[in-house]
């Protein structure tokens, strides 16, 4: 029995003798199945020719797989007391990565923005003996269920030590960002995945229902994202990939961008 992994989105599935017939995450209109068809791999195969890069990204440490795999996001290690919370997740986990994370203090928890980054979250949670926080509104997209997965509900979850999960919705019903009050020298940082997308013009950000398929959100969904973030102070936004940072006036970028978006679609 093998835990097969979708090559397109990087999601790991329950153990089976044969690869699954389909990947519901990729068949959803926010993602895609390549023209070449659904393909599968395993962690064992991935470890043969891939490795994780662990390096600084802004104030934080990032973990990303090279050469790029699936959607290609990188995770971030965020200070949480004397340990770390891993924000978002990557599929590949190997002993070199585990050793490096343990040297930095280990993981107290994992929190993930939305289903496209669920990846091999159960492997990570089991290896570090920590919970994986997901919003309950996206429970249907959990392909491999396990006791390490802890669902939370509502609009916010205060994790303590200046970390707060904020449900914004938009890209997914449970689309979540992490507010880090101590980021940017105490001015605050937002770890946004692609719930709030960092784009080339760092004076603005993007919002979409589907990024690869270019499906926009309704104006009300973007207004809801802006309103969910309004109570929080933040100078910086961390996006989903290496170097995707809004390094200053990030809250202003969200406010300008939400107003521009609503005006454009109204």
In three-state secondary structure terms, 196 is coil
Q: How far apart are CA 54 and CA 200, in angstroms?
A: 24
Model pLDDT for residues 168-185, shown as the tens digit of each residue: 999 999 999 999 999 999
Residue 201 belongs to domain spanning? 2-265
Structure pTM? 0.97
Residue 104: predicted pLDDT: 87
Residue 141: CATH number of its domain: 3.60.15.10
Q: What's the total number of domains in the chain?
A: 1
Are 54 and 63 spatial neighbours (Cβ–Cβ below 8 Å)?
A: yes
Asked whether 181 and 162 are in contact (CB, 8 A), the reply is yes
Tell me what pLDDT residue 266 has.
87
Q: Which two tokens stand for residue 153?
A: 């509900």
Which string of DSSP letters, residue by residue, matches 182-243? THHHHT-EEEEETTSEE-SSTT-EE--SBTTTTBPPPHHHHHHHHHHHTT---SEEEESSTT
Chain Cα centroid distance, residue 26: 16
- For tokens 């093998």, what's the residue? 2
Secondary structure letter of residue 8 according to DSSP: T
Q: Across-strand partners of 109?
A: 85
Beta 189-193 vs 75-80: how paired, if at all?
Answer: unpaired
Query: How far apart (Å, rounded) are the C-alpha atoms in residues 177 and 155?
Result: 11
Q: Which residues does the chain have with pLDDT short of 70?
A: none
């Amino acid at each position: 029995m093998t835990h097969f992994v979708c090559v397109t989105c990087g999601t790991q599935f329950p153990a089976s003798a044969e690869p699954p017939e389909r990947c519901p995450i990729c068949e959803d209109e926010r993602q895609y199945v390549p023209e070449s068809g659904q393909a599968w791999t395993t962690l064992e195969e991935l470890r043969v020719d891939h490795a994780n890069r662990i390096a600084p990204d802004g104030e934080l440490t990032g973990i990303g797989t090279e050469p790029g795999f699936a959607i290609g996001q990188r995770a971030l290690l965020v200070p949480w007391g004397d340990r770390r919370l891993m924000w978002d997740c990557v599929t590949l986990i190997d002993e070199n990565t585990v050793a490096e994370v343990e040297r930095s203090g280990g993981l107290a928890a994992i929190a993930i923005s939305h289903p496209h980054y669920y990846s091999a979250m159960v492997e990570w949670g089991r290896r570090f003996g920590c919970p994986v926080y997901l919003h309950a509104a996206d429970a249907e997209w959990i392909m491999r269920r396990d006791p390490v997965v802890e669902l939370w509900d509502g609009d916010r979850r205060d994790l303590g030590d200046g970390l707060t999960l904020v449900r914004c919705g938009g890209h997914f019903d449970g689309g979540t960002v992490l507010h880090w009050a101590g980021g940017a020298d105490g001015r605050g940082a937002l770890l946004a995945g692609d719930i709030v997308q960092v784009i080339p013009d760092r004076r603005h950000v993007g919002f979409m229902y589907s990024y690869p398929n270019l499906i926009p959100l309704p104006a009300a969904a973007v207004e809801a994202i802006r309103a969910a973030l309004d109570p929080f102070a933040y100078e910086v936004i961390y996006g989903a990939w290496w170097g995707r940072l809004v390094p200053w006036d990030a809250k202003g970028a969200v406010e300008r961008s939400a107003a521009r978006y609503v005006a454009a679609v109204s």
